Amino acid sequence: MTGYGKAVVVFGDKKITAEIKSLNSKALDLSTRIAPLYREKEMEIRGLIAKTLERGKVDFSLWTEKEEGTTSTPISGAIANSYRNQITRLSELYGIPQPNDWWSLLVRMPDVLNHNEAQAELSDEEWTIVRGAVEESIRQLMDFRRQEGEALQQKFEEKLDNIGALLRSIEPYETSRVERIRQRIIENLESFAGINYDKNRLEQEMIYYIEKLDINEEKQRLANHLDYFRKTMEEGHGQGKKLGFIAQEMGREINTTGSKSNEAEMQNIVVRMKDELEQIKEQVLNVM
């Protein structure tokens, strides 16, 4: 869900910039900073963003700057003259000396500077250009997201392959550990001299014990989850939450395999699988 987009357009003597950034979030969390002239279009801008982005913590900014070489900030002579007349009348009424530096005083009064900007109305022509900039910034952000998504898919494929390879590497230890368990139990029993035991019952108990440690079902389910994760990635847009659920199920099977692994080599492999899965879980938060 991370992304960035920026578009700059020119209208008259103004340079207009639309900028948008997004980070991970479970829902759409949108904040906007919009120049006063365009605030009447805020709901329309929010609609454009929400329709396209769907999820993410999104910051959108729209501001204007004067083009270099254009006329400087306009000064309203009418408002400045009005302030001077009012101050003069108050000075005469209350016997207060008039200021020596009228210029420094008047340019600090409200609305003397930027008055034309504050009173300007947004024309249809200008809004058409500004809306195009907003849409372009959103398109750039989406392009950024798609590039990030392609890189993430390659990363996921790599991690899935690693987990699959580790899963297959467990098999040799699985076969040998059954015989080692059997031999260990028999040797322990034989160490108690003079104790008779029912060999048939012992065999039944060992079969039951070994079945409790069997991980074939966990291996099969984990393999299925790996395939399902890949298929879900190919389904396209809006699969982030689903991929997160699949990753949780993968973790469940890996944890169960670890709890049944009474061999150091198998447990080491399980730890490595957990490490690969954690990297998937961290990155799946970036997926829509």
DSSP letters, 197-253, are --HHHHHHHHHHHHHHT--HHHHHHHHHHHHHHHHHHHT-TT-HHHHHHHHHHHHHH
Helix (H) or strand (E) segment spanning residue 110? none
pLDDT at 249: 96
Going by pLDDT thresholds of 50, 70 and 90, the confidence category of residue 118 is: very low
Taking residues 73-91, report their average pLDDT: 85
Please tell me which residue, 67 or 160, carries the higher pLDDT value: 160
Residue at token pair 């690969």 = 276
Q: How far apart are CA 62 and CA 20, in angstroms?
A: 9
CATH code at 3-71+123-144: 3.30.230
Q: What's the mean pLDDT when you consider all of the chain?
A: 86
The answer to whether residue 212 scores a pLDDT higher than 50 is yes
Taking residues 28-33, report their average pLDDT: 93
The answer to whether residue 45 scores a pLDDT higher than 60 is yes
Taking residues 123-144, report their average pLDDT: 95
